[in-house]
Amino acid sequence: MPQKSRPDNLFDALKERFPLPWYWLTAVVAVVLLLLVVLVAYLEGVFTHGAGWRFWQIGLLPPVIIIYILVVYPVLSPLFTRAVEAFRPLLPEGEDFDELAAGIHQRQRRWECAAMAAGAAVWVGVSMPWAWVKQPLEVYGTVMDVVMFGLLGWLIYVSLAGNVGLARLSRRQLNLDIFDTGVLSPVAQWSLGTSLAFLGGITVSAAFQPLESLLMWQSIMIYAILVLAAVLVFFLSMWSTHSAMAGVKRSELEVARKHLAAASRELKDRVALDRMEGIEGLSAALSAWATFERRVQEVPAWPFNLGTIRRLTVSLPIPGIVYAVKFILGG
């Protein structure tokens, strides 16, 4: 494999800069963020006068989402690696897969930074913090929300960039066996894992937000964008793979139908001329090609199965259920 000049993305750069196991690093970040919440609680007099669950809802939401992103990243990264590796046996001889894969894993720093800036800008533009930030808790919440939405923007960019990379692989000349398309199932696993990660983040966020905040149009718009991102990541990442599989399926059907047409014409001509010699073999060939055509038609042209769709379908309503429960309970 060619030597990489730099880490694949900003999180990988962070791992290289701090030589700790990722979850230890996540634990350190979690402790720092929670200590910041405690400090703000002290400055707000929470421990003296008490502020109820509302303070902790507002104060803990950004750290919890940031920690959530740090926790799910090392789960999603290997899924993407396996999705890319699924194409290794499918490329023609002579293709340098390692060099191609290194380019697909690599992320442009300027686009990563732009995605983080865009995520932060969305929150600032929607929330307009300059109009209401006055207290220490509000200053803390604004800074943490900017960081949180910056990370969300980065995560969306990394997911969409992964889609583009898989599309590049899918458009190459693949040696794909239409009867063994399970080799591309890691693509569906990565797509599902990424979508579930988005839905999980939405659910956690909804659980921590006060009801009045959830009912604001800004929150509804942001959640709608995130749910749309989850669905788009799922289907966009598999669309190019579906196109490749559908192309192979069409080619195999064309071959079958060509032979079927030729055999049918020959059989018709022989019967018309009363030439019955070899007709049994011709009938057997016709039956075989008809069976082959039927089998090809039955082969799915998507890299996922019903179980994958079922898991996504079951997971999609969960944020809405949490939202409804909070509405019913009034908080």
Annotated domain spans of the chain = 10-244+303-329, 253-298
Kindly give, in sequence order, each residue whose CB lies less than 8 Å from that of residue 182, ignoring residues fewer than 6 positions away.
Answer: none
pTM over 0.75: yes
**How far apart are alpha carbons 97 and 270 in whole angstroms?**
52
Terminal Cα-to-Cα distance of the chain (whole angstroms): 54
Of 239, 303, 260, 311, nearest to 82 by C-alpha is 303
Per-residue pLDDT of the chain (331 residues; tens, 9 = 90+): 344 445 577 787 777 777 778 888 888 888 998 888 888 887 777 777 655 666 777 778 888 888 998 888 888 888 888 988 888 888 877 777 888 888 888 777 888 889 899 988 887 887 777 666 666 667 777 888 888 889 888 888 888 888 888 888 888 888 888 777 778 888 888 888 888 888 888 888 888 777 777 777 777 877 887 788 777 777 777 777 888 888 888 888 888 888 888 888 877 777 776 666 667 777 788 888 888 888 888 887 777 666 777 777 777 777 778 777 777 776 5
Apex CA 73: angle with CA 196 and CA 65, to 5°? 70
